[in-house]
Structure formats: structure tokens, C-alpha cells
A = this chain, B = another copy of it.
Amino acid sequence: MESRIERLCIDRGLKMTGQRRVIARVLSEADDHPDVEELYRRATALDSRISVATVYRTVRLLEEKGILERRDFGGGRARYEATEHGHHYHLIDIDTGRVIEFEDAEHEQLMRQIATRLGFDLVSHRMELFARRRPQGVGQSMGQGAGTAGTAVDERVAGKGR
């Protein structure tokens, strides 16, 4: 089956090799922010004939084509997510590494104003919150908790503007 990202690749005239198709699928199915190592892991699980070099090359290509966006959440490794969901920001749980996405309508506008005030045209911006899960009141535990710290099982959060 043709994955969403494979479609985008085809639309932009990219040659669809076996490994690209696999990587495209992995990316299409990812709803988190995997780094190259993780993408490589997922891809080789589907087809072992893929090298890290190819993942790096593909990821770079897709970024240039505007299909992917590179993120830097600190920690030295670049992480990727598909370009699609409207502008959103990230909150990184410093204890678990989990990344939560959120939107905030006001921000982009505010940042644009600031740039303008300084005599610039805003090209892009980034904002990340590093935070710690607030200790819950009594007992009422939280669906997925402090358990599996480490691997970032990212989640997405709706909510719009404050």
C-alpha cells in the first residue's frame, strides 16, 4: 500500500526505491519525533536491506523537499516529524523525554511583531518548553505515568490558544 509520504515523494518526482518506500512508510506511521537511529531501527525491521547512510540521505532529501522537518530538542541528535499539522510547539518532559505538542495561536503573531519591531522579517522560529510533570494531587494517577522513562513516546495534545 502506498503511504502518505510515499505519495508526496511521487508527487515531487522522486525516484521510489525499495528503501525509500520503507522509510516513507515508517515516517508516515510515526506519530512521534524519531531520530535517525530510531528510524533506522524501524525501517530495518520491515526490510533489512537498508543502511543508516540511506536513512540519513533520505531524511535530508525529504527535508529539502519540505516533506519532513528537522527538530532539535537537545541531546545532540536531530529528530524528525512530517510537515503537515499546522504550526505547533513542543513541551519536553525532562524526566521521561516524552514530547508533547501543543498549539498557541497568539505566539506566531507575537513573534512576528517582535521581529518587525527589531527591523527583521521573521523567517522561522522555535520555542520549546522543558518541564516536569506536576505532582498530582491525591492518588488520581495518570493514564501513562512515570513508568517507562527514556524512550520518548510522544503524544499530541489538542487545545488551542490559552
Q: Which residues of A approach B to under 8 Å, CB–CB?
A: 72, 74, 91, 93-94, 100, 102, 104, 106-107, 110-111, 113-134, 142, 157, 159, 162
Contacts and interface: CB of A to CB of B under 8 A. Distances in A.
A123 B111 contact: no
A36 to B, nearest CB: 15
13 contacts: A72-B72, A93-B120, A94-B123, A102-B114, A104-B114, A106-B110, A115-B131, A119-B133, A120-B133, A121-B131, A121-B132, A123-B130, A125-B130
Contact of A134 (B119, B125, B127): B119
A127 to B, nearest CB: 4
B130 A127 contact: no
Contacts of A133: 119-121
Contact of A118 (B102, B120, B127): B102
A91 B113 contact: no
Nearest to A126: B128
Contacts of A129: 111, 114-115, 120, 122, 124-125
A131 B127 contact: no
Given A72-B72, A127-B125, A132 B120 contact: yes
B123 A125 contact: no
A72 B31 CA distance: 26
A33 B117 CA distance: 22
Nearest to A119: B134
A157 B117 CA distance: 11
Contacts of A114: 91, 102, 104, 129, 162
